[in-house]
Amino acid sequence: MKKLTLFIWCLWLLACTAPPVEAQTVYVTKTGKKYHDDYCQYLRTSKIEITLSKALELGYDACSVCNPAVEVDDAAEADEATPASEKSDDRNTPAPSSKPARPAPAKKATTSSQCSALTKAGARCKRAASANGRCWQHQ
């Protein structure tokens, strides 16, 4: 019984002397339903600092533009907040870094009806293009 009491007392002492864990800071807007990283373009008009755990508790989702990273301490909370349909079973994915690179903008395939040639002045030709991308004059 003395050993159990001593063990519990040691655990309590360790818990009391452990350094405080800093919560990950994310940002929300006055009207939005997403949480953002510090550099996100959607924080131009309003920027309210909040912890990640509080944002998840209030029902905020991650912004798809800045894709704020989840730090190791908050990973368990974020994992609980992620629906089972979104969880991946892939074990080969790398761990998220603390500051991810901004995602590359999606490239859309576009077909232009404007001529792709340049005029003598160096400006783009304003005529309509045929199937090969050039007007009648620049064939």
What pLDDT is attached to residue 75? 47
Most confident of the ranges 5-14, 15-24, 31-40, 124-133: 31-40
Residue 18 has pLDDT above 70, yes or no: no
- Separation between Cα atoms, residue 135 and residue 139, nearest integer Å: 6
Q: Residue 50: count other Cβ atoms within 10 Å of its Cβ.
A: 16
110-124 pLDDT, tens digit each: 556 888 888 888 888
Tokens found for residue 117: 């040639």
What pLDDT is attached to residue 74? 45
Q: Which residues contact 62 (CB under 8 A, 6 or more apart)?
A: 34, 35, 68
Which of residues 63 and 116 earns the better pLDDT score?
Answer: 63
79-116 pLDDT, tens digit each: 555 555 454 454 555 555 555 555 655 555 555 688 88
Tokens found for residue 75: 């990973």
pTM above 0.85, yes or no: no
